[in-house]
A and B are shown apart, each in its own frame.
Chain A
Amino acid sequence: MSDVDLKRTPLYDLHVSLGGKMVPFAGYEMPVQFPLGVKNEHLQTREKAGLFDVSHMGQVLLKGEGAAAMMESLVPVDILDLPSGKQRYALFTNEEGGILDDLMVTNYSSEAGEVLYVVVNAACKEQDIAHMQAHLPEGVELELLDDRALVALQGPAAGEVMKRFCPETADMVFMDSRHLSVEGIDCFVSRSGYTGEDGFEISIPAADAERLCKMFLDQPEVDAIGLGARDSLRLESGLCLYGNDITTETTPIEASLIWAISKIRRNGGDRAAGFPGAEKILGQIETKEFATKRIGLLGSSRAPVREGTALVNEAGEVIGKVTSGSFGPTINAPVAMAYVDKAYAVLDTEVFALVRGKTLPMTVSRMPFIEQRYYRG
């Protein structure tokens, strides 16, 4: 794709003024890092707070009676019983049980009517919107919120900072979502994120985004963070990247995302099945018959093991492949996610990464690699 075709978020000018190194990402010009650098941005977010521009992601409203039922027909997740003001992680699946995308669904219904707010990945948003459009029942309307920015304020200081601008956020817990006025700006605020830390995702009208972000960045605890640190933060926290760790070739069960499949949608549940690929996915839960599984790996040497690296057993036979890998600045060791033959998907198993002709030992490890610190009240 030529640079001419790249889109810019409402925060582009701010990134450039802050010295952000802009790179193409999912069709947008996005900051991969700021002068602080990837490692320090990572540590800043873990120690204080970081502000991330995620406006490239797709924001959509589904409005009208039947919106929740429609969403429920596309994901293996309980959407009908999602309380108003709550957010939930979901997966669009295909008929083969593969994953089309992962997404966040928020119930913003009120007496005025049924409303779902949906956030999908940037690289998948056109396909996801078409997918939802194709399943829209009569009476449900899809509204693309391309006039809104989306930012994430993440880190142990995020709660304190947010409270200064919007005291109503103080009693929100992980996955709570509200329409709130932040410094007089009409925002959708959820207490969630993609770093493993406490924090908020804030949807802001595009025209007000830069002003609000500058107010956040003026706080002593907050620095701007680029995509580089966003990736190492999510990886250390065991969170999947769509396109790497989950794809149409992986089912939620193979992806170790069984926790994301609501009990009520599984066999024996009141609303079992009724989503694309249900037979395959629910069958894998019952039979446990599947070949490969997503696991976490911790490196024993200091060499980072990158995506695409082959994994072998002691006999040198290929038993898997790394799907995401980097050096974890907080855990201070190489971290990776990989798919391995199920026989090796056992904690503390030693496997070997083939890196530049060497075999580097890695240990199958529990994810998240570092403790998640969500605010649960």
Chain B
Amino acid sequence: MSATLKFAKSHEWVLDNGDGTVTVGISEHATELLGDVVFVELPEVGATTEAGNEFSLVESVKAASDIYAPVSGEVVVVNEALEDAPETINESPLADGWIAKIKLADSAELEQLMAEDAYLATIEE
């Protein structure tokens, strides 16, 4: 259980870096639904994200799945290591498998995300 991560219903997690930026990835549950990830389409640095809109895409052997931005803002860093090692998303979804860092446009949006136990409860529904 992580006390610091917050989750969107669409299965992304957010870590508040405390400097106006957040790190974003996808939940362990999402990786289980996806299966083995073979490709991650990273957003472009400088791109604008809008909470709830697609901002990345992950492909498994089976199919492609959109990843939605959990917060609005600007992409400041992307995890380029995923280009050569997309399987990192399966191996370490909540840490090394992060996708991007976003500079928050409105820190109040963080309040709308769920704590991990609340998120896990939505999965069980």
Contact = CB atoms under 8 A, between A and B. Distances in A.
A232 interface: yes
Contact of B36 (A32, A40, A302, A334): A40
A304 B38 contact: yes
Contacts of B57: 356
A327 B63 CA distance: 10
Interface of chain A, helix or strand or loop or mixed? Answer: mixed
B61 A302 contact: no
Contacts, number: 45
Given A228-B62, A327-B59, A329-B61, A302 B38 contact: yes
A115 interface: no
B35 interface: yes
Interface in A11-37: 32-33, 37
A356 B41 contact: yes
B72 to A, nearest CB: 21
A44 B86 CA distance: 20
A184 B46 CA distance: 68
A38 B36 contact: yes
B41 A327 contact: no
A271 B83 CA distance: 55
B39 A38 contact: no
7 contacts: A39-B61, A40-B36, A228-B35, A228-B61, A302-B86, A327-B61, A356-B41
Interface of B: 35-36, 38-39, 41, 57, 59-64, 83, 86
Interface of A: 32-33, 37-40, 42, 228-229, 232, 302-304, 306, 326-327, 329, 334, 356
Given A39-B36, A232-B61, 13 more contacts: A32-B62, A38-B35, A38-B62, A39-B61, A228-B35, A302-B39, A302-B83, A303-B59, A304-B59, A304-B64, A327-B39, A327-B61, A329-B61
